[in-house]
Amino acid sequence: MAGTRRIGIAGSTGRLGALALRLVAAADDLEPVELDVREGLDLSGLDAVFDATVLDASERLVDAAVDAGVPVVVGTSGWTQERIGDLRDRGAEGIRIVPNFSLGSVLETHLATIAARHFTAVEVVEAHHDRKRDAPSGTATRTAEAIGAVRGFRPATPDEPGRGTIIAGVPVHALRLPGVVARQEIVFGGTGETLTIRHDTTSSDSYSAGILLALRAERQPGVTVGIDDLLGLS
């Protein structure tokens, strides 16, 4: 269709990719093209790519997109600060890595950066469905990094078995259970009080608005993490 932007969708057979495929197919201004990253990385004719695969495939896809000058919205979790730093060093442009597309989750992490100015002790507990392949979640990792950036690196006292994965000085605990979609609690401990910030994903519909916002956003220079800028939060 004239005037539509062609969006390559990698991982369109999976939960997140199938949602993106439906959203893009239903949008008047976007046209979906299903991509199987296992079969090749030809991105010609695409205006942007949406990635919802696994980390290894995601990294290869983003490398190919950087070479081809095609913008990418990455939904796949597991991108480390180090790998994002490598992309920036390569001069990557138009890459947006989104740990979580849901408005409530983005706000939860943002609110945690405010609380982090006032509390020195904090732990994160995330829960996801039992088909999730990675742990801790991309959202919990990003949350811990965002808290760590406010507090400065302060090693958590208990770096020992049974006390979670320490990310940017913050212990992160991961549960994988049937019956759960996604949930995250950020618990701050202070003098005679705790503050808990909790977000519940009850349906993957929560990702829809953020996916479309990211796909329709103007191409950003360099590498952007999250959709905070698109929500007026940064």
Ligand X SMILES: O=C(O)C1=N[C@H](C(=O)O)C[C@H](O)C1
Ligand Y SMILES: NC(=O)C1=CN([C@@H]2O[C@H](COP(=O)(O)OP(=O)(O)OC[C@H]3O[C@@H](n4cnc5c(N)ncnc54)[C@H](OP(=O)(O)O)[C@@H]3O)[C@@H](O)[C@H]2O)C=CC1
* Residues that are catalytic: 128, 132
Pairwise CA distance, residues 167 & 122, whole Å: 11
Within 8 A by CB and 6+ apart from 54, the residues are 76, 78, 133
Beta strands in 105-169 (DSSP E): 121-128, 165-167
Interaction residues for ligand Y, span 173-192 (CB under 6 A): none
Q: Tell me which of ligand X, ligand Y, none is bound by residue 206, counting a contact when its beta carbon lies within the kind-specific cut-off of 5 to 8 angstroms.
A: none
- Residue 38 near which of ligand Y, ligand X, none (CB within 5-8 Å, type-dependent): ligand Y
Binds ligand X (CB under 6 A): choice among 60, 83, 132, 151: 132
128 binds, among ligand X, ligand Y, none (CB under 5 to 8 A by kind): ligand X
Q: Which of 37, 168, 212, 230 touches ligand Y (CB under 6 A)?
A: 37
Among 32, 71, 94, 138, binds ligand Y (CB under 6 A): 138
**Cβ atoms of 168 and 149 closer than 8 Å:** yes
Residue 234 and residue 110: Cα distance in Å, rounded? 9
Interface pattern 86-105 for ligand X (x via CB under 6 A): -------------xx-----
Residue number with CB closer to ligand X (181 or 194): 181
How far apart (Å, rounded) are the C-alpha atoms in residues 87 and 73?
A: 14
The yes or no reply on residue 17 touching ligand Y (CB under 6 A) is yes
Please give the Cα distance from 89 to 86 (Å, whole number): 5
From CA 202, how far away is CA 177, in angstroms rounded? 14
Least Å distance, CB 98 to ligand Y, is: 5
H/E stretch holding 209:
helix 208-216
Q: Segment near ligand Y (CB under 6 A), from 41-49, 75-83, 143-151, 224-232?
A: 75-83
Write the CB contacts of 6 (distance below 8 Å, at least 6 apart in sequence).
31, 33, 45, 46, 47, 48
Position among 98, 170, 186, 215 found at the interface with ligand Y (CB under 6 A): 98
Nearest residue (CB) to ligand Y, 32 versus 138: 138
β-partners of residue 6 are: 31
List interacting residues with ligand X (CB under 6 A).
77, 99-100, 128, 132, 137-139, 182
List interacting residues with ligand Y (CB under 6 A).
11, 13-17, 37-38, 52-54, 56-57, 75-77, 98-101, 134, 138, 207
